Structure 1
């Protein structure tokens, strides 16, 4: 007889299906792919006023490429420098430490480039680092796989660059263009594309003496800029403000700053032709008018603004080139892009050019950041930030440990929308260089509403401002008896900051009777 095996086979199949349904097979463990480290691009200009950036409401100029960073990322409304001067601000950026700790208090000293800095920490976790353009720290860069920097302040036209082989080479063209060319060339041809990069592009513009590119010389022809309401400030109640030597109508140099008869020796033929065609008729017209009094003062202001803003136009255009390159190479999604300046600047407010003071126009820095993986487009952040926050922020974004010695705070928690309840409520400032422009040494504290400043070394005195009622800082209300309780509170907060930041000079001054 034939054996009937159908039933056992069906029974076995049923059992197998029952087992699979009730006891799913163990899946192999998925190994999580390491998260790609972000590239970091920092574009750091020199002396760029918030009033010359349209994202911050400039009445003077449109800066579409700078604005784009904020529109596609975040605009920070309260970033402040800790010492409004070129070299000290760069030292703070690199080290995450205040001037008295990183050792670079003024433009006259030599930076210790071997101290612990964020590029060293990034190199340690596999980043390729580069600094291109304005450096202004005397000592050669360290902890950068590639660098090429301007000597000192550098030149706008046909600038020299110090190279890594120790040679200084001259490049024909305009400094802002050349710095951008070098940055894009490094990204395209000279970096190790298997590694994340951190690139700092240090632009000279719009630093004094404000030489626009020839393509921007006529950009503001026919434009009459509004005189700031504080242009004729008499500095009543503000001793240090009255002593300064950075007044547009008194201290600007007619030759070098305002270009009346100014000839640059390093121009090529095409550059000189365009330069002469623009500035020679202006100089002749100036001499013919024989201006004096307020008419002369305001002519100087108009000339200053034309040249300053001409430099900003080139800066913004070249930022657009950097952004376009990232887009074309599909790098934008994984690249943190930051635009900032080393400090703010005066565009005629209080009658001034330059910076140095703890007043708003020079203490307040532009700061915009784009990083699509973390920052929602159109984000605005009002938290009080300082220039020493750059370094720890870069390290946290890259996944590197933040050294305890860094005095700044990473802003990444703010970007992740975590509560800012425990964020700082005051920022600290200390300016040391009593030299060019005759600005007195001073230190102080700024809260969201108030600013308390201590001037010293040429008389010891205080200034207090209510930024809500007096945003232009025209009324020093320190002597008003009604403010004594407020002053006591601010002095205690200032002392706490000085102690917390180990600023012994400030502590000693505060302890004086």
Structure 2
């Protein structure tokens, strides 16, 4: 009888434990996948300008003061693998607002326009019941594509090297908003020109393998000190915006994302220091405070995410995917690969040196299509065109045709593995996918070596290869030598 009672007792304990474990598992599941609010949330995206992901306290830099960004990280989710597809202002922003990479949306050179038939975030979110608002820097065109319901430009102040976001207008809007809204708050900081900092010291700067060789350069030290001061100024603006959000909006029903459009130290390149961006999301009751995600996400993913949150879904021709599951606590893969492009034409130096990049979490492949190694094959039968193709290759004469990096062991891209036999299968896999992506994007470059087109906007828009700029001098013998037929003319620019 005692054995029977003991057996029943043990059986009861096991049953209770099983029920308890099942309940804990269910509760844990709820914590991992948070329920969304019943009402459509407000969506705010704060975008800083030209700031490296390495230059934040929450990303490991103890030399720069970013308490407002750090606060967001403690209250939300910090992403360690967020990327833009191009390290230039307009192309980066166009991806964010269209869900399409620069080549597909048409804005893949500096100061150029998105294709006029593209539908941007303004239409998609308006169709889902949102008001769409821009506050601050624009740098995107045409208005037909980016037709905001409400927009305010940056404002001048007597202090500071750049214009400021319009805080008074943002406050008034928060006070009176009658429907859910998406607001892009685009800062002009810390983009140069920077503050003039007296008595700048090298020890006040955090140096990295990509710039440590300049830590004894007085000009570099002064520039970095001014850059840090400009970062602090932007962080103060962010603090003011967060105070307005906390005062006037339902914080639990507001998704707030902070990012910077690209890194300044890798601007115009496809290096991670240019393409990897800070990305922090706060959404109380949905995002667990202090969370971190190491999954690959991309600027093209932002619009699909917003559309899903608003009850819609991305269109078939968008490149991005929704990362809403990550915000809700699910650690799932969003992207196996991400891509990057570099187009040096239409910048002040305007040399012909296009690059493309593919990357997964560990490996990264880069092709520089006009490297010295392939220059002779890129030359054609037009001497005036050849002169500029050659000029472009010589401007980057030390940059190899191909690069391959193991980012786990070499995060700063210092050890090129491209010629090592053990990595040839990885190279083949990455290049195969990259060229398939380029074809799908409608790229004007191909896998074939020996084809080097030059591009230009129509008319007198943009930076011409055969003209001087304030950062480049063209020999008199080369001025005005290029004709319309020598270029691929991008009409919508």
Q: Report the TM-score when normalising by structure 1.
A: 0.69
Deviations 1:116-155 (A, max 9, x none): 01221111222111101111125347331111235xxxxx
Q: Distance in 2 between matches of 1:365 and 1:194?
A: 33
Query: Which of residues 195, 204, 208 is equivalent to 1:211?
Result: 195
Q: Residues 186, 116 of structure 1: CA spacing in aligned structure 2 closer, same or farther, 3 A cutoff? A: farther
Q: Distance in 2 between matches of 1:223 and 1:357?
A: 28
Q: 2:167, 2:241 within 8 Å by CA — same for their partners in 1?
A: no
Query: Which of residues 184, 192, 200 is equivalent to 2:170?
Result: 184
TM-superposed CA distance for 1:419, in Å, is 5.3
Q: 2:161, 2:193 within 8 Å by CA — same for their partners in 1?
A: no
Does residue 449 (structure 1) correspond to residue 347 (structure 2)? The answer is no
TM-superposed CA distance for 1:200, in Å, is 0.7
Partner secondary structure for residue 76 of structure 1? strand
Q: Distance in 2 between matches of 1:412 and 1:144?
A: 24
Q: CA RMSD in A?
A: 2.8
Q: Distance in 1 between matches of 2:190 and 2:117?
A: 29
Write out aligned runs for 1:277-296 (5 A). none
TM-superposed CA distance for 1:58, in Å, is 1.0
Partner secondary structure for residue 424 of structure 2? helix
Show the counterpart of 2:402. 462
Query: Which of residues 72, 76, 81 is equivalent to 2:79?
Result: 76
Task: Could you tell me which runs of 5 or more consecutive residues in structure 2 were left unpaired when the two chains were aligned.
Answer: 1-36, 375-400, 452-493
Partner secondary structure for residue 188 of structure 2? coil
Does residue 379 (structure 1) correspond to residue 291 (structure 2)? The answer is yes
TM-superposed CA distance for 1:325, in Å, is 1.3
Q: 2:161, 2:194 within 8 Å by CA — same for their partners in 1?
A: no
TM-superposed CA distance for 1:300, in Å, is 1.2
Partner secondary structure for residue 355 of structure 2? strand
Q: Residues 222, 405 of structure 1: CA spacing in aligned structure 2 closer, same or farther, 3 A cutoff? A: closer
Does residue 198 (structure 1) correspond to residue 178 (structure 2)? The answer is no
Query: Which of residues 423, 428, 437 is equivalent to 2:339?
Result: 428
Q: 1:118, 1:394 within 8 Å by CA — same for their partners in 2?
A: no
Q: 2:134, 2:150 within 8 Å by CA — same for their partners in 1?
A: yes
Does residue 338 (structure 1) correspond to residue 324 (structure 2)? The answer is no
Q: Distance in 1 between matches of 2:405 and 2:365?
A: 7
Q: Residues 467, 401 of structure 1: CA spacing in aligned structure 2 closer, same or farther, 3 A cutoff? A: closer
Show the counterpart of 2:353. 440
Q: Distance in 2 between matches of 1:453 and 1:139?
A: 31
Show the counterpart of 1:162. none
Query: Which of residues 107, 110, 124 is equivalent to 2:110?
Result: 107
Deviations 1:35-60 (A, max 9, x none): 21100111011111112111100142
Task: Could you tell me which runs of 5 or more consecutive residues in structure 1 were left unpaired when the two chains were aligned.
Answer: 1-33, 151-157, 160-170, 234-248, 250-293, 347-353
Query: Which of residues 218, 225, 245 is equivalent to 1:326?
Result: 245
TM-superposed CA distance for 1:457, in Å, is 3.1
Comparing 483-492 and 53-62, the one that deviates more: 483-492
Q: Distance in 2 between matches of 1:403 and 1:204?
A: 31
Q: 1:60, 1:225 within 8 Å by CA — same for their partners in 2?
A: yes
TM-superposed CA distance for 1:225, in Å, is 2.4
Q: 2:78, 2:293 within 8 Å by CA — same for their partners in 1?
A: yes
Q: Rg bigger for which structure? A: 1
Show the counterpart of 1:252. none
Q: Distance in 2 between matches of 1:410 and 1:183?
A: 31
Show the counterpart of 1:360. 272
- Equivalenced residues, count: 385
Deviations 1:315-371 (A, max 9, x none): 11111111111112242111110101111222xxxxxxx512111211110100001
Deviations 1:257-307 (A, max 9, x none): xxxxxxxxxxxxxxxxxxxxxxxxxxxxxxxxxxxxx85xx2112101111
Partner secondary structure for residue 54 of structure 2? helix
Partner secondary structure for residue 413 of structure 1? helix
Partner secondary structure for residue 204 of structure 1? strand
TM-superposed CA distance for 1:219, in Å, is 11
Partner secondary structure for residue 184 of structure 1? helix
Q: Distance in 1 between matches of 2:259 and 2:432?
A: 31
Q: 1:176, 1:203 within 8 Å by CA — same for their partners in 2?
A: no
Q: Report the TM-score when normalising by structure 2.
A: 0.72
Q: Residues 470, 397 of structure 1: CA spacing in aligned structure 2 closer, same or farther, 3 A cutoff? A: same
- Greater relative contact order structure (CA < 8 Å, 6+ sep): 1
TM-superposed CA distance for 1:93, in Å, is 0.7
Q: 1:219, 1:310 within 8 Å by CA — same for their partners in 2?
A: no
Show the counterpart of 1:314. 233
Show the counterpart of 1:3. none
Write out aligned runs for 1:384-423 (5 A). 384-418=296-330, 420-421=332-333, 423=334
Partner secondary structure for residue 205 of structure 1? strand
Show the counterpart of 2:421. 481
Write out aligned runs for 1:225-264 (5 A). 225-231=205-211
Query: Which of residues 130, 135, 140 is equivalent to 1:127?
Result: 130
